[in-house]
Amino acid sequence: MKKTKVLFVCIHNSARSQMAEAFANSQAGSKCEAFSAGLEAGTLNPDVVEVMKEEGIDISKKRSKSVQEFLDKKEIFDYVVTVCDKASAEKCPVFPGPGKRLHWAFPDPSSLDLPKPMRLARIREIRDEIKARVASWVRGL
């Protein structure tokens, strides 16, 4: 059986798209192969790494990638899912190709200007929203 290829895309590939990729690969490894990228490569958000470890998923060895890397390889995806928030939607990258386009708006963990305990609590909420959305999507595959 051919696995469904999905690319999760956001601005810097530092948080939301990384979480979505990790959840898709952990929840649907037999059905799907997930990747993530950003308009430009950023730096992996250490708070996101921390809250993903709480879920038993270690993304600390991941790196931020730009969509250009996938374009250069002429990658084809069945789905391209943008995960930018509503405020950044106009900046969210568009990935060319025949794949079906989906948009899931999630707040940007990198934009949270809060003390660390409050910031981690909010990132956990975002993580859980992403996990639930990916789980729902995976059930439909």
Query: DSSP letter at 64?
Result: -
Structure-token match 């069945």, residue found = 78
Q: What is the CA radius of gyration of the chain?
A: 14
What dihedral angle (degrees, nearest 10) is formed by the CA atoms of 93, 20, 53, 125?
90
In sequence order, the 6+-apart residues with CB closer than 8 A to the CB of 124 are: 51, 54
Token pair of 49 as six digits: 């790494």
Catalytic residues: 10, 84, 92
**SS3 (DSSP) at 5:** strand
